[in-house]
Amino acid sequence: MGLNDFQLKCIAVLSMLIDHIGMILFPEVTLLRMIGRLAFPMFCFLLVEGFYHTHNVERYMVRLGVFALISEIPFDLARFGVVLEFSHQNVFFTLFIGVAMMYGLQKYCGNLVKIVIIVLAMAFAALLSTDYSFLGILLILVYYLLRDDKVGKLVLGAGWNLLSTTPVQYCGIFAVIPLGMYNGEKGRSLKWAFYIFYPAHLLALYGIKMLFFN
């Protein structure tokens, strides 16, 4: 019973799609953005699970890094209407930094070193102005440190949404419902499909906007 990894990814992707439909095509429909707030907490949760289950962390980081670069032009077109815009970077950069942080925390010993790794990860995300910035790294850290504490990570993960200066993010609290149903099973594997969907759907929505909304 419950939801497996694949099913959680499907819910997260659907939430993200609804969010981006709202952001790109119907910015006046707040409900779409509210539904979309579930996506990022779920992706962070799944990122940590993926980190623990992957057979090769280095390849995991490379995939995230490559798709961060691939997705930047679709992201900038969809969000800003320009080919490249350096004031804000797509969410793959946040996820990449998060995995690099977890890799460092796992590899190196000593509390001081670990604190430095966390601070550097947050600072790097803020410097690059990645999606969710240092707060996104903080959420990944919560799920990483409390991975074996189901109640603790759900409570703090839900509370993280209240740190946002954007009230609509408070709706992300409801991500606790599907995440609380996670059964630890992998389910179907469509790894590349989920990676490809991100830049592909942004390009598609940008195309729709240019064709029908301009």
CA 20 to mean position of chain CA atoms: 13
Q: Which amino acid is at 133?
A: S
Q: Which domain holds residue 73?
A: 5-213
Distance CA 154, CA 177 (A): 9
Are 51 and 57 spatial neighbours (Cβ–Cβ below 8 Å)?
Answer: yes
Distance CA 59, CA 57 (A): 5
Domain count, the chain: 1
Least Cα distance to 47 among 143, 157, 182 occurs for 143
Beta bridge partners of 182: 3
- Is the alpha carbon torsion for 41, 94, 125, 109 positive or negative? positive
Other C-beta atoms lying within 10 Å of the C-beta of residue 132: 22
The number of C-alpha atoms within 13 Å of 160 and in the hemisphere containing its C-beta is 29
pLDDT at 41: 98
Are 178 and 3 spatial neighbours (Cβ–Cβ below 8 Å)?
Answer: yes
* Residue located via tokens 């930047």: 72
DSSP string, 58-84: HHHHHHHHHHHHHHHHHHHHHHHSSS-
Tokens describing residue 6 = 């694949």
pLDDT at 38: 98
- Is the alpha carbon torsion for 152, 154, 156, 159 positive or negative? negative
Are 130 and 97 spatial neighbours (Cβ–Cβ below 8 Å)?
Answer: yes
Kindly give the confidence (pLDDT) of every residue in the chain, 214 residues in length, as a single tens digit, with 9 standing for 90 and above: 799 999 999 999 999 999 999 999 999 999 999 999 999 999 999 999 999 999 899 999 999 999 999 999 999 999 999 999 999 999 999 999 999 999 999 999 899 999 999 999 999 999 999 999 999 999 999 999 999 999 999 999 999 999 998 999 999 999 999 999 999 998 888 889 999 999 999 999 999 999 988 7
Least Cα distance to 65 among 203, 195, 197, 205 occurs for 195
Distance CA 62, CA 2 (A): 31
